[in-house]
Amino acid sequence: MDFGIKNRLSRIFSPRTGRTVMLAVDHGYFQGPTTGLRDFSNIIPLIPQADCLFVTRGILRNIIDPRTGAAICLRVSGGPSILGELSNEDLITSMEEAIRLNASGVGMSIFVGAKNEDRTISNLGRLINEANRYGMPVLAITAVGKDMGKDARYIGLACRIAAEIGAHIVKTYYCPGFEKVVEGCPVPIVIAGGKKMPEMEALRMTEEAVRAGAMGVDMGRNIFQSDSPMGMIKAVRAIVHKGATAEEAFGIYRKGVKSAAVPAPDGNMEKV
Ligand code: R5P
């Protein structure tokens, strides 16, 4: 691996712990203004807690402060909306654009076992060929459709394919037996959070994934749809970077809920 790729990876993965808390806020690229991501006012205060922001160029250009300290990983695939065939994605953002936006990585989805499987995997190959010319790490996301399983055999298959094609990082979903998935994948894996679940469950999943060898998270809804997004991102950070247990992290989240509920002197609710 050359200097450029290593240097960019060291912006995504903290050189202190080798792990990362990526905040995923790209959902609008197919879901539109989804819950928790309507106007980004609740996202901006969370950004300093993230090592990396996973985001589209539209949001980056229009909403994110260019002085941000968080690394940027740019979602570069898209096409269909939630109303269409999700796997029918193509590459929609160029490498030149990623470099112009000073991205530390680019990410796209592959749909293993779904319609358009072969095309999304060849898209990944094309993206990696292009990215390697410029020293740009590629994050491959193993999308899981409604009809696809979520067991270690299937997730392990999808992650290994992504790594074999040349992805530098793989994002996938946690499943029981995750050590097997990690064992079969020669590049770092981060987990997505998936649909919003009770905070304790999300923290437990994070702890189990990290114990099984995940190098962090690229998490969205379980942070920004929480009643305390700040409490939740700090709790997830404690697990990923400090080895906190889910119970310890839950205490951090609870503190966030309490302080979010404290009225500020001006009568408005004080931000955590
Ligand atoms: C899918 O829409 C995106 O790739 C998200 O970035 C990914 O699913 C992670 O977000 P969440 O934790 O909400 O699943």
State how far the Cα of 216 lies from the Cα of 189, in Å rounded to an integer.
7
Q: What is the pLDDT of residue 270?
A: 38
Q: What is the pLDDT of residue 145?
A: 63
What distance in angstroms lies between residue 219's CA and the mean position of ligand 1's atoms?
Answer: 6
Total Cβ atoms within 10 A of residue 117: 15
Q: What is the pLDDT of residue 143?
A: 82
**Looking at ligand 1, which residue's alpha carbon is closest to its atom 10?**
220
What distance in angstroms lies between residue 218's CA and the mean position of ligand 1's atoms?
Answer: 7
Ligand 1 and 193: CB distance under 6 A: yes
**Number of independent structural domains in the chain:** 1
What distance in angstroms lies between residue 244's CA and the mean position of ligand 1's atoms?
Answer: 23
What distance in angstroms lies between residue 186's CA and the mean position of ligand 1's atoms?
Answer: 22
**Looking at ligand 1, which residue's alpha carbon is closest to its atom 9?**
192
DSSP string of 155-204, one letter each residue: HHHHHHHHHHHT-SEEEE---TTHHHHHHT-SS-EEE---S---HHHHHH
Domain housing 178:
3-271
Total Cβ atoms within 10 A of residue 142: 27
Total Cβ atoms within 10 A of residue 172: 26
pLDDT tens digits in sequence order for the chain, 272 residues long: 799 999 999 999 999 999 999 999 999 999 999 999 999 999 999 999 999 999 999 999 999 999 999 999 999 999 999 999 999 999 999 999 999 999 999 999 999 999 999 999 999 999 999 999 999 999 999 987 666 668 999 999 999 999 999 999 999 999 999 999 999 999 999 999 999 999 999 999 999 999 999 999 999 999 999 999 999 999 999 999 999 999 999 999 999 888 876 544 444 443 33
State how far the Cα of 123 lies from the Cα of 117, in Å rounded to an integer.
10
Pairing of strands 20-24, 169-172: unpaired
Q: What is the pLDDT of residue 259?
A: 81
**Looking at ligand 1, which residue's alpha carbon is closest to its atom 14?**
194
**At 89, which amino acid appears?**
E
Beta carbons within 8 Å of 61's beta carbon, 6+ residues apart: 101
Total Cβ atoms within 10 A of residue 243: 13
Ligand 1 and 221: CB distance under 6 A: yes
Q: Which of 198, 232, 192, 196 lies closest to 214, judged by CA?
A: 192
Which of 20, 22, 27 gets mutated to test ligand 1 (max ligand atoms within 8 A of its CB)? 27
Q: What is the pLDDT of residue 265?
A: 43
Give the position, in ligand 1's atom list, of the atom nearest the Cα of 217: 12
State how far the Cα of 48 lies from the Cα of 269, in Å rounded to an integer.
21
Q: What is the pLDDT of residue 91?
A: 97
Domain of 34: which CATH number?
3.20.20.70
**At 220, which amino acid appears?**
G
